[in-house]
Amino acid sequence: MSITTEPSSSQITSSEVIFPPGNLWSDEPPLESDLHREQIDLLIRLIRWWWRERQDFYASGNLTIYYSPNQKTSEEFRGPDFFVVLNADP
């Protein structure tokens, strides 16, 4: 039995696809570029390689971190580009 998850090109015509306009305006600050994202990925892969024998750290990026003692996601949060968490237990 074959299951198709995506429509084939014969099922969709270009007249059926609606594209948004290319001149969308926003007053939000620009997000990272492809180069910025690649640098984040490089930092994560380098730290994982450097500490490949260790099991007591976590390295990641572009994640929101909530650190509210009240466990509220509406207060005290950051979205770092890159971070490392080390195990404090000896």
Strand 57-60 versus strand 83-86 pairing type: antiparallel
- pLDDT tens per residue across span 45-82: 999 999 999 999 999 988 777 777 777 666 666 666 88
- Provide the H-helix boundaries in the chain: 34-50
Look at residues 59, 61, 65 and name the one whose alpha carbon lies nearest to residue 78: 65
Domain residue spans of the chain: 55-90
13 vs 54, higher pLDDT: 54
Separation of alpha carbons 19 and 81, rounded Å:
30
Q: For the CA atoms of the chain, what is the radius of gyration?
A: 21
The reported pLDDT for the residue numbered 43 is 93
